[in-house]
């Protein structure tokens, strides 16, 4: 069975109890995982929210989605995750990436593939209570023992996808909501695992998408800001997927206009740069049946979990929309005997 997850950020304008209530509602509805965005200039602190939610839930799995090992040292990340472990035993996930909106505005660069691979190895050791080499000698978290939490690496391009297959417990597959692209990304994860002597089936596949169901506003307007963030990131890809090459100039304009202080905000002015055609190529928008059809395509790629970004602007309604889409996707899959 394919799991359903959500990801969200904690807005500076949003009371904590409202976000906690939203995640509690998701848990009650059967959502298996919730990832909290870690982007310090655009949103409130991810780990503070995770601590609050951990104390107010009992089943949903929780983790930063994603943190980085630049603005947060591996020992800091490990200590935060171990603290969450004490609040939500067996429910903590560790989402890590090379660094994006948390590092670029500071004039820093994302971690290289090699450095990130080392960082994941050290993070796993620290989470298990083991000692790692530090610049001034051995490093170990005091009072930590047990099994490390599953580490998920956010990846979109070839080398990072292969690294995920080689060293991570799971991969967060980022990029366009396009089955052809996602299938190719999964193949790189498999290759990375095989080269490292691992079974590809041991790497959990969590495919992330953004979706808006037509309601009070056209769905495409709601996903346009997220699509602008994706367009900006795609300009850094070594090679654009064939189906997106015609948007290359538009993506460059999105990158130039991007305002990190309004990262993923649906009201961000930089969203206006993205056309309807590009927005719907990168994200999912439409009525329930249209969205369900695209979700089914992603499930069929081989996702172990589909995680949907829960956009701001009436997220209680957006959660209900997501649940309706998920139900429709599962009903259609059951009818044809497919994976749900």
pLDDT tens digits, residue range 181-239?
999 999 999 999 999 999 999 999 999 999 999 865 567 888 888 888 888 888 988 88
pLDDT band at 12 (very low <50, low <70, confident <90, very high): very high
Q: Give the CATH number, domain containing residue 48.
A: 3.20.20.30
Does residue 333 register a pLDDT over 70?
Answer: no
pLDDT > 70 fraction of the chain, expressed in percent and rounded = 96
Q: Which domain holds residue 319?
A: 3-336
Domain count, the chain: 1
pLDDT in tens, 202-211: 999 999 999 9
Q: Tell me how far apart the alpha carbons of residues 71 and 77 are, in angstroms, rounded to a whole number.
A: 10
Give the residue from 208, 215, 186, 203 showing the smallest Cα distance to 301: 186
Over 90: is that where the pLDDT of 104 sits? no
Can you say how many angstroms the Cα of residue 1 is from the centroid of all Cα atoms in its chain?
A: 20
| CA–CA separation, 251 and 33 (whole Å) | 31
Structure tokens belonging to residue 329: 């996707």
Other C-beta atoms closer than 10 Å to the C-beta of 253 total 17
DSSP β-ladder status, 137-139 and 151-155: unpaired
């Amino acid at each position: 069975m394919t799991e359903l997850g959500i990801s969200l950020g904690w807005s500076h304008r949003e009371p904590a109890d409202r976000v906690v209530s939203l995640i509690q509602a998701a848990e009650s509805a059967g959502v298996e995982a919730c990832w909290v965005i870690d982007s310090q200039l655009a949103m409130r602190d991810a780990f503070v929210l995770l601590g609050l939610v951990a104390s107010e839930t009992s089943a949903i799995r929780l983790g930063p989605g994603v943190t980085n090992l630049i603005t947060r040292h591996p020992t800091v990340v490990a200590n935060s995750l171990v603290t969450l472990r004490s609040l939500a035993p067996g429910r903590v996930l560790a989402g890590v990436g090379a660094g994006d909106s948390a590092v670029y505005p500071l004039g820093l660069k994302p971690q290289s593939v090699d450095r990130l691979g080392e960082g994941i190895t050290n993070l796993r050791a620290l989470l298990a209570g083991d000692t790692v080499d530090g610049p001034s000698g051995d490093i170990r978290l005091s009072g930590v023992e047990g099994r490390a939490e599953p580490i998920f690496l956010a990846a979109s391009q070839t080398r990072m996808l292969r690294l995920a297959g080689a060293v991570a417990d799971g991969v967060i597959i980022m990029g366009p909501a396009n089955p052809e692209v996602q299938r190719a990304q999964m193949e790189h994860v498999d290759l990375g695992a095989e080269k490292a002597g691992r079974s590809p089936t041991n790497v959990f596949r969590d495919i992330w998408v953004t979706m808006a169901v037509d309601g009070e506003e056209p769905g495409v307007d709601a996903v346009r800001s997220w699509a602008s963030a994706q367009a900006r990131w795609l300009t850094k890809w070594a090679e654009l997927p064939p189906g997106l090459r015609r948007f290359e100039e538009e993506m460059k304009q999105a990158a130039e206009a991007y305002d990190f202080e309004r990262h993923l905000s649906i009201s961000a002015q930089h969203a206006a740069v993205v056309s309807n055609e590009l927005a719907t190529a990168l994200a999912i928008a439409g009525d329930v049946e249209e969205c369900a059809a695209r979700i089914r395509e992603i499930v069929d790629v081989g996702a172990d979990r589909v995680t949907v970004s829960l956009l701001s602007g009436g997220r209680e309604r957006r959660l209900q929309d997501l649940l309706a889409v998920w139900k429709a996707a599962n009903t259609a899959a059951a009818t044809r005997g497919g994976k749900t």
